[in-house]
């Protein structure tokens, strides 16, 4: 079972742009890579083959606090914030030397792929829901709960 | 002077992923490309060389309503929502055959590049502010104005 | 029927890298986009859905003569050099203001997708071979042929 | 001093395309990332800031033998094949479970950045040439040959 994951990585040259820093759209890839690693940590793949279901993004947002440059090392932390019947919401943080570089939140939806190529929202299969859980939110929203984590 | 811009484009193969649809991070590139075209429409470049200033993203968010597939044509509309002393906020929409595919909003900040490679927030130069203006916000914030749009 | 195609496009910001020029790997995307446009010109799609066949790259090479920078406009020309029973070979050129920027050659193979996910080489379907033809090679390799182009 | 480098990595979702495999252009990024790691292994950066020199690609080519899919792990090996006064030539191989996936070769040139933004070929600085050396292939392919390197 997994709720969060941390990764270290290094900025690659093809991720930078002419401003000399990581192109802003690549942060979404950094967070997605860590999200998929979290699934692997839980013994799952977000895109097994074949599979009748898929996990498109419903929304994604990122705030940029500092820039990253070629070859800089940084740390990504992602955690599951909420699991509803049909969606999973994550938050993530990128830091470098302890300073916040970017913070993000995004939501994915469980869908069935229809024969005509479209997708329809569906319930998250039990064998997946059983292996992913929100990251200690109970404690934050309910300060009186005993610290069981 | 420019406030908004529309573009038509087609999904390229390298923009898709193994789910058979445009990878979600590429929508941010679609919107950025249109934003930069809006600047050109205003007679500006967002990245002239050399230049003492730059325009990093402060935040970016996107909601995904439908998927796009290889070779599908779609339309992007971007507009300037707000210009403050040091930032510009945009919103954008991607549609296909009149149906909403994605909606986004993002903010860029005007910065000075310091000798040590870091960036510091600075006022938007007058010659740039003079050529960009919010898209009809006056009418929305002032309901008594005649419906000139 | 199509043999070659020309496109004009402009360098987008996300295509550049920290050296201030288009990242070398993106030239392969430029050429691929033009290749797929050539197929559309011939009334074909290189990736229809569903389809029992696919067209993976066998090889790709590019020589870089000049750099391209943000917002520069350039021209891409691609042409079919050779069609064998199971492969298609292309060449392409990128120019800017009449000067050579890059030259490339690449080969794709027609494959059948097997149930286990692997691919096996197969003959190019007649309805595709009928619509694509090498770009005037007959004349170059056979100087006695009538100048029908 | 470094001549070659090996890396293990895993296919990320954003690197795949609608054919369900790694997009061919991304192999060039895999090889480039390993090349830059080789420089770091030698105590160098291929893009320090600031620097009067740069290393654009002169040519790059890749042959594709097998496909890679999402989450598959693979190994990259790069080696320096030749160092001339102004260029460095590499070769690289990607393998998975001992099977060849791709083989590549590419050449970079040492250039000076001129004030007008163009680049001119220049000699490789001694402090760089001292730390990189060709990967002794003569010995492997011809065991009887005298050790001339």
pLDDT in tens, A53-66: 999 999 999 999 99
Would an 8 Å CB–CB cutoff place C57 in contact with chain B?
A: no
Q: Is the preceding peptide bond at C50 cis, omega within 30 degrees of 0?
A: yes
pLDDT at residue B137, rounded to an integer: 56
Would an 8 Å CB–CB cutoff place C29 in contact with chain A?
A: no
Residue in D20, D29, D45 closest to A71 by CB: D45
Distance CA D146, CA D149 (A): 9
> In this structure, how many other beta carbons lie within 10 angstroms of the beta carbon of residue C109?
20
pLDDT at residue A136, rounded to an integer: 81
pTM of the shown model: 0.92
CA distance D144 to chain C (A): 34
Confidence grade of residue D50 (pLDDT, cut at 50, 70, 90): confident
Quick one: closest CA in A to B51, which residue? Answer: A19
Q: Testing the interface with B: which of C44, C47, C56 to mutate, by most B Cβ within 10 A?
A: C47
Average confidence (pLDDT) over C92-112: 98
Residue B100 has pLDDT above 70, yes or no: yes
Distance CA D54, CA D31 (A): 18
Residue A68 has pLDDT above 90, yes or no: yes
Would an 8 Å CB–CB cutoff place C12 in contact with chain B?
A: yes
Query: Hey, what are B2's tokens?
Result: 């420019």
pLDDT at residue D137, rounded to an integer: 53
Confidence grade of residue D138 (pLDDT, cut at 50, 70, 90): very low
Q: Is the C-alpha dihedral spanning C137, C140, C146, C148 positive or negative? A: positive
- D57 contact residues in C (CB cutoff 8 A): 24, 64
Structure ipTM: 0.91
Residue D143 has pLDDT above 50, yes or no: no
Quick one: closest CA in B to A46, which residue? Answer: B19
Residue D148 has pLDDT above 80, yes or no: no
Question: Are C24 and D62 inside 8 Å of each other by CB?
Answer: no
| Contact in structure between B89 and B109 (CB atoms under 8 Å) | no
pLDDT at residue A139, rounded to an integer: 44
Average confidence (pLDDT) over C41-51: 95
Distance CA B29, CA B35 (A): 10
Which backbone phi and psi does C39 adopt, to 5 degrees? Answer: -60, -45
Q: Does the annotation count D17 as an active-site position?
A: yes
pLDDT at residue A147, rounded to an integer: 39
Average confidence (pLDDT) over C54-59: 98
Confidence grade of residue C69 (pLDDT, cut at 50, 70, 90): very high
Query: Hey, what are B123's tokens?
Result: 């006022």
Distance CA C12, CA B31 (A): 11
Confidence grade of residue B125 (pLDDT, cut at 50, 70, 90): very high
Residues 100-119 of C with CB under 8 A from A: 117
């Amino acid at each position: 079972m997994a709720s969060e994951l941390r990764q270290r990585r290094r900025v690659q040259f093809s991720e930078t742009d002419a401003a000399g820093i990581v192109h802003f759209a690549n942060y979404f890839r950094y967070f997605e890579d860590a999200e998929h690693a979290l699934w692997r940590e839980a013994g799952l793949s977000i895109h097994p083959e074949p599979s009748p279901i898929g996990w498109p993004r419903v929304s994604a947002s990122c705030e940029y606090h500092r820039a990253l440059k070629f070859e800089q090392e940084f740390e990504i932390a992602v955690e599951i914030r909420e699991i509803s019947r049909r969606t999973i919401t994550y938050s993530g943080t990128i830091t470098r030397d302890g300073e916040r570089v970017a913070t993000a939140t995004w939501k994915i939806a469980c869908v069935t792929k229809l024969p005509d190529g479209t997708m329809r929202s569906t319930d998250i299969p039990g064998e997946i829901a059983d292996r992913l859980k929100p990251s200690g939110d109970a404690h934050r929203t309910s300060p009186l709960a005993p610290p069981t984590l």
